[in-house]
Amino acid sequence: MNSQDALRHLDTISLLHLRNSLGDTISRVSHTDEPMIITKNGKPIAALVSIDDAVLVEEAKDNYYNALVDEAANEEADMMPFEDFIADVEADETE
């Protein structure tokens, strides 16, 4: 599923209309917890989300990046310095 499909069910508001109704739109988003997709020339350019949703997005990003760091650390733990590898190979050859 591409990002456009994931946003299809959300309400949209044009940038021009948003300029004229910013207060009402912010109120709606903060009270309903439903994001609004902001469009320019009919194309999505941004999203207006509640603070709770913004926190969830940041937490999800943090969790994702922490998982990447953990994965890299685990891969690194499985590695050995090249010199040790050569020493192991040479030791195996003499056995």
Q: 35-69, pLDDT tens digit by residue?
A: 999 999 999 999 999 999 999 999 999 999 998 88
How far from the centroid of its chain's Cα atoms is residue 65's Cα?
9
Q: What are phi and psi of 46, to 5 degrees?
A: -165, 170
From residue 48, alpha-carbon distances to 15, 35, 53, 88 in Å are 11, 6, 10, 58
CATH match for 1-49 among 2.60.40.790, 3.40.1620.10, 3.30.70.3270, 3.30.230.10: 3.40.1620.10
pLDDT value at residue 3: 63
Query: What is the Cα–Cα distance from 7 to 88, expressed in whole angstroms?
Result: 54
